[in-house]
Chains A and B, each alone.
Chain A
């Protein structure tokens, strides 16, 4: 079974600075997808960024980028120019690529990010 590990229960960053959240995963599959979701205090789950395993290029979405190291099974999230609104729980998630999208997500335990003004 696949597992996702987020080794940092909590992180903090100064406003306008850069922070990196760690995520590692374990799988024997070659076709899969990785995601970062953000859950602010409102508890809404918001997709931040996603990465297809077959793509070597790291995904980017504005201030958010990932460092995808497939051989190391690492998928870290970098947030640049941190803003107060970035404060939230961040969940790393894995999904198998085998069944057209109907596969379940495997979540890490989350990292609580605090942004200090």
Chain B
């Protein structure tokens, strides 16, 4: 089945650091990738949608300059949390979908980000 790899799985860093998270589709071309944030015991909150070769579409309330998204190829999207602060600590999950109306989103395993 379709596999999405997300790296790293866990990051602990100091306040003010920028952190990059990678999301790769391993066995299919992902025309669209999604980035979610999940707080404890809550549902997934969509942050942005990225299409290969174009600018990401951010959801209302998500800071574009804070959460930089790049989707440079059909198999890779990156999320960079710039100048991270403790309030950015969360679980971030990516998903990818190939072309075709009936294709489901395939999720990465998530990244637990802890900012000290």
Query: Could you say which residues of chain A place their CB within 8 Å of the CB of B51?
Result: 102
A/B pair count, beta carbons within 8 Å = 63
Cβ 8 A contact of A100, one of B91, B101, B105: B101
Q: Are B49 and A44 in contact (CB under 8 A)?
A: no
CB-defined contacts of A45 to chain B, threshold 8 Å? 44, 93, 95, 107, 110
Q: How far is the CB of B98 from chain A (nearest CB, A)?
A: 7
- Chain A residues near B31 (CB-CB < 8 A): 100-102
Contact with B along A98-117 (1 / 0, CB 8 A): 00111011011110000000
Do A105 and B101 touch (CB < 8 A)?
Answer: no
Q: Can you list, as one digit per residue, whether each of A36-65 has a CB less than 8 Å from chain B (1) or not (0)?
A: 010000111111001010000000000000
- Once A100-B101, A102-B31, A102-B32 are accepted as A-B contacts, the answer to whether A44 and B107 lie under 8 Å apart by CB is yes
Closest to B31 in A: A102
In angstroms, Cα B101 to Cα A100, docked, is 4
Q: Does B103 lie within 8 Å of A101, measured CB to CB?
A: yes
B positions within 8 Å CB-CB of A: 31-32, 34, 38, 42-44, 46, 49, 51, 91, 93, 95, 97-107, 109-110
12 contacts between A and B (CB under 8 A): A33-B101, A42-B109, A44-B110, A45-B95, A100-B31, A101-B98, A101-B100, A102-B32, A105-B44, A105-B46, A105-B105, A108-B43
